[in-house]
Amino acid sequence: MIQLENVTKTYPKASRPSLDNVSVGIEKGEFVFFIGPSGSGKSTIIKLLLKEVQATRGKVVVNAKDVTSLRSWKIPHFRRSIGCVFQDFRLLPNRTAYENVAFALEVIGKTKAVARRVVPEVLELVGLGGKEHRYPHELSGGEQQRVAVARAFVNRPLILLADEPTGNLDPDTSIEIMRLLDRINRTGTTVVMVTHDSNIVNQMRRRVIEIESGRIVRDQARGVYG
């Protein structure tokens, strides 16, 4: 499902690589944590998988597509098979929860009718039934992140990427978001999550890949934060 082969990423003007000869494979349906100190290169991996940045060396394969050689005009279509959640939610402030999720469908060409059918369903799934017409500022942080998860999932992506999705949330709310991601994972979606939260990692007991200065230092099947 996801394959990094000897991937090195050196940002322009950077003195040392942010990722240094990283190789890792992730199977369909897996739930994987990336952990590691700040600046170790975790977000860079997410960006490589989205082709937001281009690998300096090595090969990145996502959904059986070689991302490294993917033509730029094919990127939009490629991204439709990947859902993303970030620490800062990235919701549109002038749209309601419903509209935020529907927006993601409409801009990839789905009709309003489709949105009317699917959006309430997915909002129900993330536990926001009844709050469809609230604006982001009328929702708590956890609820906003649920909207973001709904938006990432509404398109039924094969992969869900989450870069510190609980970074702005309190422990209880974080656990709720984790339950949600776990449920999404159980539908068969591969979930890749970057986190600093040791509680979550220790509780979930999933595969843990630890990175330090751009290198993988640990890859454990049912790991703990360590």
Partner 1 sequence: MRVKYVLNEVLVGLWRNVTMTVAMIITMSVSLTMLGASVLMYMQVDRMKNFYYGEIEVSIFLADNVTDGQRQAIKAKIDESPLVKESSYETKEQALERFKVLYADSPDFVAAVNVSSLPESYRVKLTNPEDYDKFAKQIEGEPGIQRIIDQRELLQKVFNIFNSVQLMSLVVAAVMAFAALLLVGNTIQVAAYSKRREVAVMKLVGASNWFIQAPFVLEAVVAGLIGALLGFVALFIGKIVLLDNKLQALTAILTPVPTGNVWLMLPLLAGVGALVSAGTAWVTLRFYLKV
Ligand X SMILES: Nc1ncnc2c1ncn2[C@@H]1O[C@H](COP(=O)(O)OP(=O)(O)OP(=O)(O)O)[C@@H](O)[C@H]1O
**Chain residues that interact with partner 1, rule: CB under 8 A:** 73, 75-80, 82, 84, 90, 92-93, 103-104, 106-109, 111-112, 151, 155
**Residue 53: CB minimum distance to ligand X, A:** 7
Member of 22, 43, 126, 144 binding ligand X (CB under 6 A)? 43
Q: How many CB atoms are closer than 10 A to CB 65? A: 15
145 binds ligand X (CB under 6 A): no
Query: 159 vs 211, which CB is nearer to ligand X?
Result: 211
Strand 65-66 relative to strand 82-86, pairing: unpaired
Measuring CA to CA, how many Å separate 109 from each of 26, 47, 94, 102, 112? 30, 24, 21, 11, 9
**Residue 144: CB minimum distance to Mg ion, A:** 19
Instruction: With beta carbons less than 8 A apart as the criterion, state whether 33 and 204 touch.
Output: yes
Member of 26, 31, 32, 41 binding ligand X (CB under 6 A)? 41
Query: 18 vs 100, which CB is nearer to ligand X?
Result: 18
Quick one: which of 45, 59, 48, 1 has its CA closest to 25?
Answer: 1
Query: How big, in percent rounded to 5, are the helix, strand and coil portions of the chain?
Result: 35, 25, 40
**Residue 179: CB minimum distance to partner 1, A:** 24
Per DSSP, the three-state class of 178 is: helix
14 binds ligand X (CB under 6 A): yes
39 binds ligand X (CB under 6 A): yes
Q: Count interface residues toward Mg ion (CB under 5 A).
A: 1
Instruction: With beta carbons less than 8 A apart as the criterion, state whether 209 and 4 touch.
Output: no
Query: What are the backbone dihedrals phi and psi of residue 123, each rounded to the nearest 5 degrees, phi first?
Result: -65, -35
Judged by CB under 6 A, the stretch of 42-50, 119-127, 151-159, 178-186 that binds ligand X is: 42-50
Q: Look at phi and psi of residue 22 and say left if phi exceeds 0, alpha if psi is from -120 to 50, else beta.
A: beta
**Residue 39: CB minimum distance to Mg ion, A:** 8
10 burial via Cβ count (<10 Å: 0-12, 13-18, 19+): middle
**Residue 24: CB minimum distance to ligand X, A:** 15
**Residue 43: CB minimum distance to ligand X, A:** 3
Query: 143 vs 210, which CB is nearer to Mg ion?
Result: 210
Member of 40, 43, 185, 195 binding Mg ion (CB under 5 A)? 43
Q: Which residues bind Mg ion (CB under 5 A)?
A: 43
Q: Which residues are near ligand X by CB under 6 A?
A: 11, 14, 18, 36, 38-44
